[in-house]
Amino acid sequence: MAGAYDDRDGKIWMDGKLLDWRDAKVHVLTHALHYASSVFEGERCYNGKIFKSAEHSERLLRSGELLDMPIPYTVAEIEAAKTATLAANGLKDAYVRPLAWRGSGEDMGVAAKRNPVHLAIAVWTWGAYYGDAKMKGAKLDISKWKRPSPETIPHAAKAAGLYMICTMSKHAAEAKGCSDAMMFDYRGYVAEATGANIFFVKDGEVHTPYPDAILNGITRQTVIGMLRAKGITVNERFIKADELEGFEQCFLTGTAAEVTPVGQIGGYMFEVGALTREIATDYEKLVRA
């Protein structure tokens, strides 16, 4: 599958029906387009099985609740819709994108209680998110934008509006020849990349930011469990900027990123070391088990 994302062959599930890809549309006065009332998930299907599928569906519903936007489907209904969409497109290895949003209705202001909440699911083939970085390590910029305080945003929701500064940060990074950008949080602690959680290695132990102002990713949680099962100490803590110089290895985790080593963040260099390669290999085996 190739070409613009609105001009492809295939089927998209939308509000209970499988539509031709090009017919899955919304009105220009859709509330989400004006006020970012939208939540989504990113999932990967390996060999016909979506990794942690039910957990993603559960998080989608929680995200809707956090935005005061109840999604009118159950986990079981969402799971069935994902299965039907994959089958309709004939895909067993794919990226899966459930998306819920407030549509157009009687309200066209900040408040939108009378507007219906819709759900769509699209699937497509998608390779490595960072290209060849899995071998040589991704190069990251350091973003000028910071992840906001949890008093200002529902940081536990995977909500479209929270990604605005991520898009801006990634564009700035790409203009410098980088794959992505690392962001600090509102306090100045290391937070995450624009669409992935971040880990560091030093003296055989792993360090990762405490997720009190960032999304606690499903892949992040999975990798922490894998590391601890190996007897490796994982420190979830606040990481200061001046600590970057002392870390030996770095890697990113996320559904799209999977486990991707990082070779550089700004002026800081990291080796693509044995522990990073090992956990990346183990994760690949786990998702395809």
Q: Angle at Cα 179 formed by Cα 173 and Cα 184, nearest 5°?
A: 60
Active site residue 11: no
User: Which tokens belong to 132?
Assistant: 């060849």
Nearest to 236 by CA among 259, 210, 255, 198: 210
Helix (H) or strand (E) holding 160: none
Q: Angle at Cα 194 formed by Cα 213 and Cα 120, nearest 5°?
A: 95
From the candidates 11, 134, 139, 158, give the one annotated as an active-site residue. Answer: 158
Largest CA distance in the chain: 59
Report the distance separating Cα 80 and Cα 66, nearest Å: 24
Q: Angle at Cα 24 formed by Cα 18 and Cα 30, nearest 5°?
A: 130
Report the distance separating Cα 219 and Cα 214, nearest Å: 14
CA pseudo-torsion sign 84, 89, 91, 94: negative
Report the distance separating Cα 189 and Cα 200, nearest Å: 14
Report the distance separating Cα 213 and Cα 150, nearest Å: 6
Active site residues: 158
